[in-house]
C-alpha cells in the first residue's frame, strides 16, 4: 500500500514537472515571434531589498505603460526579472542565465555598483547593451562600450557632499566606509579628495562590512577627533544602526551620505537619531515639475507608496532603452548600442538625460535632509 502510494506521488510529481517544463518552452517560443524580451537583474530580497524592489517597480511600470500604448516596433515587451538576493556573486550568475537561456536583447540593473560590475562583462561579451539605473561607481561603465547608466557618478556625488560640508563651515570630517561595497569605497575616496584639497581635514577613517551591526568601536575612536560631521557612505541598513549608536556615545555631529540612504527603512531604524543629517540623491519627490508630479501620482495609485529615487531611475532606465529600440528600429545588439549611446536631452523623471562619451549621464544632484522622519529637499547642485 505504502509503496503504491509513493509510486503515485512520484508519478504525480513527474507530471507536474513535465507540465512545468513544456510550459516554459512554449512561452519561450512565443517570445521569439511577437515579443521583445528584456532582462532585469534586481535585488528583490536580501540586504538592499528596498532598492531592488523600488527599481523593479519603476521598471515594470515603464514597461507596462509602453505595452499599454501598443508596445514598440509593433511588438509587446516582456520583462524577465531575476532576483540576485542582494548577493555579491549571484548577480553574475543570473545575468548569465538571462543572456543564455532567455536570450534577452538588453539587460537592466543592478542598482548596487558591486553587483553591476559583475553583470557588465557578461553583457559586454554577449554583445548586448546594459543600462544600470543607479550604480554610481565610475568603474561600472568603464567595463566596455555596451554599458550605460542613467544616474550621476560617485566623483560628482562625493564632490557634492564635500562642497556641501565646506559651505556649512565644517572643516573636520570623519569617514566611515563599507569596504565590501565598491559604491561606498568610491564615494568616500572622491569625498576625501575634494574635501582635503579645499581646506578640509579628515579626522578619522574607519571601515566596516555590510551586515555589521555594532559600530561602537569605530565610533568611539572617531569621537576622539571631535569631527564636525561624519561621512557615512554606505547603504541604509548599516547607517541606521550607526546613527543610533553615535547618539548613544554622545556624538552630536550630523551624518552625511549618498543615494544609498534613500530608503524608508533608514528612518524606521534610526528614529530621531538621524534627524538633521544630509544625503545627496537623484531626485526629490517634492519637486513640483508637472512631469514629476504626474509620475508620483501614477506610482502612488499603483503601489500605494511615494516613489523613491530608485523607482524613478528604474523607470528612466527602461524608458531610455525603449526609446533607443524605437530609434534603432531593431533589437540587434550593435545598432541598439549605438542608439542608446546617441541618447540626447531625454526628458526623464530624474532630469534631462544626455549620455556622454563615457556612457554616463551628467545630471544634477539634490541634497536632502531628514526632518520629522521625512526626506526634505535642501538644494540642487549642478555638475
* Interface map 163-182 toward another protein (x if CB under 8 A): ----------------xx--
CB 80 within 8 A of CB 40: yes
Q: Which residue spans within 121-245 are E strands per DSSP?
A: 130-132, 147-149, 172-178, 201-208, 229-232
Query: CA-to-CA distance for 90 and 77, rounded, in angstroms?
Result: 25
CB 309 within 8 A of CB 283: yes
Pick between residue 222 and residue 312 the one whose CB is nearest to another protein.
222
Q: Does 250 bind another protein (CB under 8 A)?
A: yes
Q: Does 93 bind another protein (CB under 8 A)?
A: no
- When binding is defined by CB under 8 A, the residue of 143, 181, 265, 280 that contacts another protein is 265
Pick between residue 93 and residue 241 the one whose CB is nearest to another protein.
241
Stretch that binds another protein, among 107-115, 153-161, 239-247, 359-367 (CB under 8 A): 239-247
Pick between residue 216 and residue 291 the one whose CB is nearest to another protein.
216
- Edge-to-edge order in the sheet of strand 172-178: 201-208, 172-178, 229-232, 255-257, 278-281, 365-371, 374-381
Q: Does 34 bind another protein (CB under 8 A)?
A: no
Query: CA-to-CA distance for 51 and 249, rounded, in angstroms?
Result: 30
Which residue from 292, 306, 314, 313 is spatially nearest to 374, judged by alpha carbons? Answer: 306
CB of 191 to another protein, least distance (A): 18
Number of residues that bind another protein (CB under 8 A): 37
Which residue from 283, 321, 300, 345 is spatially nearest to 79, judged by alpha carbons? Answer: 321
Q: Does 46 bind another protein (CB under 8 A)?
A: yes
Pick between residue 168 and residue 272 the one whose CB is nearest to another protein.
272
Stretch that binds another protein, among 97-105, 235-243, 344-352, 374-382 (CB under 8 A): 235-243
Helix (H) or strand (E) holding 191, with range, is: helix 182-197
Which residue from 365, 370, 369, 376 is spatially nearest to 163, judged by alpha carbons? Answer: 365
Using CB under 8 A as the binding rule, the residues of this chain from 51 to 80 that contact another protein are: 53
CB 152 within 8 A of CB 316: no
Stretch that binds another protein, among 9-17, 22-30, 162-170, 265-273 (CB under 8 A): 265-273
CB of 175 to another protein, least distance (A): 11
**Separation in Å, CA 282 to CA 145, 308, 345, 377:** 24, 9, 17, 11
Using CB under 8 A as the binding rule, the residues of this chain from 190 to 219 that contact another protein are: 204-209, 211-214, 216-218
For 79-109, give the DSSP string. EEEEE-TT-TTHHHHHHHHHHHTS--S-EE-
Pick between residue 152 and residue 261 the one whose CB is nearest to another protein.
261
Q: Does 378 bind another protein (CB under 8 A)?
A: no
CB 194 within 8 A of CB 187: no
Q: Does 220 bind another protein (CB under 8 A)?
A: yes
Sign for the CA dihedral angle at 295, 62, 76, 45 comes to negative
Pick between residue 145 and residue 214 the one whose CB is nearest to another protein.
214
Cis, peptide link before residue 110, omega less than 30° from 0: yes
Q: Does 330 bind another protein (CB under 8 A)?
A: no
Pick between residue 53 and residue 343 the one whose CB is nearest to another protein.
53
Residues in contact with another protein by the rule CB under 8 A: 44-47, 49-50, 53, 179-180, 204-209, 211-214, 216-218, 220-221, 223-224, 237, 240-241, 244, 248-250, 265, 268-269, 271
Amino acid at each position: 500500500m505504502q509503496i503504491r502510494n509513493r509510486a503515485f506521488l512520484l508519478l504525480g510529481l513527474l507530471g507536474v514537472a513535465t507540465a512545468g517544463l513544456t510550459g516554459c518552452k512554449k512561452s519561450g517560443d512565443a517570445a521569439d515571434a511577437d515579443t521583445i524580451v528584456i532582462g532585469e537583474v534586481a535585488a528583490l530580497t536580501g540586504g538592499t531589498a528596498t532598492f531592488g524592489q523600488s527599481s523593479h517597480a519603476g521598471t515594470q511600470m515603464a514597461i507596462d505603460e509602453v505595452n499599454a500604448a501598443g508596445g514598440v516596433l509593433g511588438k509587446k515587451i516582456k520583462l524577465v526579472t531575476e532576483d540576485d538576493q542582494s548577493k555579491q556573486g549571484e548577480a553574475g550568475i543570473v545575468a548569465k542565465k538571462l543572456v543564455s537561456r532567455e536570450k534577452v536583447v538588453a539587460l537592466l540593473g543592478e542598482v548596487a555598483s558591486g553587483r553591476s560590475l559583475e553583470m557588465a562583462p557578461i553583457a559586454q561579451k554577449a554583445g548586448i547593451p546594459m543600462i544600470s539605473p543607479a550604480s554610481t561607481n565610475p568603474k561600472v561603465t568603464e567595463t566596455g562600450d555596451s554599458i550605460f547608466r542613467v544616474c550621476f557618478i560617485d566623483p560628482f556625488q562625493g564632490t557634492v557632499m564635500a562642497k556641501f560640508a565646506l559651505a556649512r563651515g565644517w572643516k573636520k570630517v570623519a569617514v566611515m566606509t563599507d569596504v565590501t561595497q565598491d559604491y561606498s569605497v568610491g564615494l568616500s575616496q572622491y569625498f576625501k579628495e575634494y574635501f582635503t584639497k579645499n581646506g578640509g581635514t579628515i579626522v578619522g577613517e574607519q571601515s566596516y562590512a555590510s551586515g555589521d551591526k555594532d559600530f561602537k568601536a569605530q565610533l568611539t575612536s572617531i569621537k576622539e577627533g571631535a569631527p564636525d560631521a561624519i561621512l557615512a557612505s554606505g547603504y541604509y541598513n548599516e547607517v541606521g544602526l550607526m546613527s543610533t549608536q553615535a547618539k548613544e556615545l554622545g556624538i552630536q555631529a550630523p551624518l552625511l551620505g549618498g543615494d544609498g540612504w534613500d530608503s524608508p527603512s533608514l528612518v524606521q531604524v534610526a528614529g530621531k537619531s538621524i534627524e538633521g543629517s544630509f544625503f545627496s540623491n537623484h531626485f526629490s519627490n517634492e519637486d513640483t515639475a508637472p512631469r514629476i508630479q504626474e509620475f508620483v501620482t501614477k506610482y502612488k495609485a499603483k503601489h500605494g507608496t511615494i516613489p523613491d529615487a530608485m523607482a524613478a531611475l528604474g523607470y528612466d532606465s527602461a524608458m531610455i532603452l525603449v526609446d533607443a529600440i524605437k530609434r534603432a528600429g531593431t533589437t540587434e545588439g550593435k545598432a541598439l548600442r549605438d542608439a542608446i549611446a546617441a541618447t540626447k536631452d531625454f526628458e526623464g523623471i530624474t532630469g534631462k538625460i544626455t549620455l556622454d562619451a563615457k556612457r554616463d549621464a551628467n545630471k544634477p544632484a539634490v541634497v536632502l535632509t531628514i526632518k520629522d522622519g521625512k526626506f526634505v529637499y535642501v538644494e540642487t547642485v549642478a555638475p
